[in-house]
Chains A and B, each alone.
Chain A
Amino acid sequence: MDTVELEKLINWLESGALTPVEVLSGTCERLTAAGVPLWRVGVFVSTLHPDAFGRSFVWRPGADVVINTAGFDLPDSPQYKRSPLAILYASGREVRYRLDDPESRRFPFFDDMREEGVTDYIALPLHFTDGSTHATSWTTKAGSGFTDEHLAALRATVLPFARLAEIFAMRRTATALLDTYVGNRAGERIWAGQIRRGHAEAMQAAIWLSDLRGFTALSDRLAARTVVDILNQYFDCQVPAIRKHGGEILKFMGDGLLAVFPIAKDGGDLGEVCARVLGAAREARAGVDAMRYPVGEGDERFRFGVALHIGEILFGNIGGMSRLDFTCIGPAVNLAARLEKIAGKLSRTVVASAAFAGVSSDGWTELGEFPIAGFSKTQRVFGLQDEMALSADAG
């Protein structure tokens, strides 16, 4: 054992390193240089995220660190319940097995490890300051397994390692919270320090304002849990489509959804942005068209409306005292909201302002001029040619 190398490793961990992958591979490489014959090393950390229970990082000598995300079903899976880590989580203590020990046969995971040539395994807990327990696992292919010296080195390493893991986990949790409840772009700005009320900037954007037709009547008629279930399914039709096409969901208002797609300052990508927005609208329309919800004997079906517009918005923090909203505001948003109401009257799903439809006339048909509150002149409203049949049906 090279104690100088080991000391260097501990100092390096204490002084802070860069990314989770760098910390893991740096630690394993330095331990190897210090004389600990490592094979597969795993780190398992759970964070607060709507889709993920946690992440695993697996290092093997000479290979890239492999990162996997585990879903919420993991803790109930047989694979998890029969793993040595389950013992660590339950007890908060280290778990060690030599793989020639007959006792180790009860863990299916060790079958794979034996095939890789592993002889010894130790799982060491990472104790976070919030009281939660996370895990590391260390293996070797050395014929005699880990020596006491090796184990002491690993135990000394996981203490500073836990602090770094906790910092990474907390950062990931904080950014996941912003992505989830505020939106990814807004979240990035907030994380970078734009958290005060003065922080707002003007920008050009395509605006998406949608709502579910007849929602209020529906929510009066059905149980609140059913309504939430329907809303979740309905938002599932829009959120992934909007995100995939580069949009940012700024707000849910009951059944309403406000999203923006930023446009470059020089307007160079205007055509491309509008094409993406329209792509997202068509995808959401197909999703809502296909949506069925069993209520009583029958299937409930749904129609929604979305208004598309482009214009200048003010994007930033608005609110009272220290309770804020990162949102957008401006006459362009008001116009989109009024257009959206017209979509319902015209039995249309997708409608656009002249500004939006004018970017690419492809596929748009003029539906007429409408007086709109807040605008001295009537506004031309456009619909999609592929919705002709739909509005004729309803008409």
Chain B
Amino acid sequence: MAVDVSDIREWLIDGARSSPAPADMIDALCRRLTQAGIPLFRVAFYIRTLHPDIFGRNFIWKPGEPLQVGTADYDVVDSPQFIVSPIAIVSREGREVRARVGDPASARYPIVEDLSAEGVTDYIALPIRFIDGSAHTTSWTTKQEGGFTDEQIDALRSIMAPLSRLVEVIRLSRVATTLLDTYVGNRAGEKILGGQIRRGHTENMNAAIWLSDLRGFTALSDRLPSETVVDILNLYFDCQVAAIKAHGGEVLKYMGDGLLAVFPIDEYVGDSQQVCARVLEAARETRAGVEAMQYAIGDTIERFRFGVALHVGQILYGNIGGGSRLDFTCIGPAVNLAARLEKLTGRLRRTIVASEGFAGICSGGWRDLGEFPIAGFSKAQRVYGLFDEEAMAAA
């Protein structure tokens, strides 16, 4: 029996614009194919990504169930199961793989056992070919007795070209977001994708500011091989980035061992007390992480101390740079003050210090460390430390 999928093809060619979200598109596609006379059971899409931690994403559809979206990390690539799987063969060689339950020629695919346990009779993996030359995988299964008919297989093949174009578009838009999240920051990235990519695009923002650095880093980086230094920095930044992100902050910049992050107040809940409390939690979490950090160099275990200054104030947030090479960052006297406070942490033997502005909002646990003259400010500035660091400071 012929299977007519011409309207599905047209829908795909027009960008499936009635289902703009990728999950909705896959769900709508599978339901339309079923209605067109292809009794699909499990359908899966496996798309490789460009992401620092994620090798690929998978989307798994089953009739009557919500679409499942999962990720695979880079370890998957080298696993023996993956290398012999039809998913890997299709994306590596760009060709189809068919496996029928009960067909001796299909027995070499370990997946057949799992499929037959589920009652599947037929499986075909078809390549999604991107115009950049790479291939990705879709797999289609049925529980129909005797497996897919030739007409059903031809119908599936016939939708692959328009489907591939659409998947490539979706993947590229995901890649653009990931690149910005990775190298610019998530909030900044959202603003850039929303069109704020020109130098004039800056805005005033009320934010808590986090400025930190690793004590003795320059001496360390003169003494150790660069590969070791990078490794230490990565571990050290891991301690901070996770805590900052989990508490609603955005890492704006790395400068050697320095890190600048902001926690927007207006945009968040407008509650500066709540924001500052979360900033302090992130600082305590980071402190615990850095204290626990150990790095073996030769026979010795290297341990680390860092300092972080917390302040709250108005910043100018946006694009700064020359020509078409820009930075999405923040600037202002509040940032300068945080940078100067941060330099005091070492002298005061403290990990966490706060400005009067920050300590005033986020009450409890602060000890007045005295007034310090700070460049750029006519009056001496009061600096605050935490009670739970008294012992450390006295040591």
Q: Do A and B bind each other?
A: yes
Interface residues of A (CB under 8 A from B): 11, 14-18, 48-51, 72, 127-131, 159-160, 162-164, 166-167, 170-171, 173-174, 177-183, 190-191, 193, 195-197, 200, 202, 216-217, 219-220, 224-225, 227-228, 231-232, 234-240, 243, 249, 251-254, 312-314, 316-327, 329-331, 334, 373-375
What is the CB-to-nearest-CB distance from A251 to chain B, in angstroms, rounded to a whole number? 7
Distance A230 CA – B333 CA, assembled complex (angstroms): 15
The residue that B53 contacts in the complex, of A49, A179, A322, with Cβ under 8 A, is: A322
Say which one of B108-116, B119-127, B228-236, B269-277 lies at the interface with A: B228-236
Which one, A128, A225, A239, A317, contacts B325 given CB within 8 A? Answer: A239
Contact call B234/A318, Cβ cutoff below 8 A:
yes
How far is A147 from B169 in the complex, measured between Cα atoms in Å?
Answer: 33
Contacting residue for A232 out of B15, B129, B314, B322, CB 8 A: B322
Interface 9-mer from B80-88, B91-99, B197-205, B360-368:
B197-205
**Docked-complex contact B219 and A374, CB < 8 angstroms:** yes
Residues of B within 8 A of A (CB): 10, 13-17, 20, 50-53, 74, 129-132, 161-162, 164-166, 168-170, 172-173, 175-176, 179-185, 192-193, 195, 197-199, 202, 204, 218-219, 221-222, 226-227, 229-230, 233-234, 236-242, 245, 251, 253-256, 314-316, 318-329, 331-333, 336, 375-377
Which of B20, B314, B322, B329 touches A238 (beta carbons < 8 Å)? B322
- Does A239 lie within 8 Å of B13, measured CB to CB? no
| Complex contacts, A329 vs chain B, CB 8 Å | 221, 226, 229-230, 233, 256
Closest partner residue, chain B, to A319 (CB atom):
B237
Q: A127 — which chain B residues lie within 8 A by C-beta?
A: 14-15, 17
Q: Is the CB of B234 within 8 A of A130?
A: no
Contact yes or no, A323 B173, CB < 8 A: no
Contacts of B242 in A (CB 8 A): 320-321
Contacts of A253 in B (CB 8 A): 253, 255
Can you list 24 A-B pairs, Cβ within 8 angstroms, ordered by A?
A16-B161, A128-B15, A129-B20, A130-B173, A160-B13, A160-B162, A163-B169, A167-B131, A171-B132, A177-B179, A177-B192, A190-B179, A220-B377, A228-B318, A243-B323, A251-B327, A313-B226, A317-B52, A318-B233, A320-B242, A324-B52, A324-B182, A327-B254, A331-B222
Contact between chains at B165 and A160 (CB < 8 Å): yes
* In the bound complex, CA of A327 to CA of B324 (Å): 18
A-chain residues with CB within 8 Å of residue B254 when the two chains form the complex? 318-319, 325, 327
In the complex, what residue of chain B is closest to A284 when comparing beta carbons? B322
Residues of chain A within 8 A (CB-CB) of B17 are 127, 129
Q: A180-B324, A320-B251 are in contact. List 17 more A-B contacts (CB 8 A).
A: A16-B164, A190-B183, A200-B230, A202-B226, A217-B376, A224-B333, A228-B320, A236-B323, A237-B322, A239-B325, A249-B325, A318-B234, A319-B237, A321-B237, A321-B241, A322-B51, A327-B254
Assess whether A252 is in contact with B331, with CB atoms less than 8 Å apart.
no
Please indicate the chain B residues that have their CB under 8 angstroms from the CB of A238 in the complex.
322
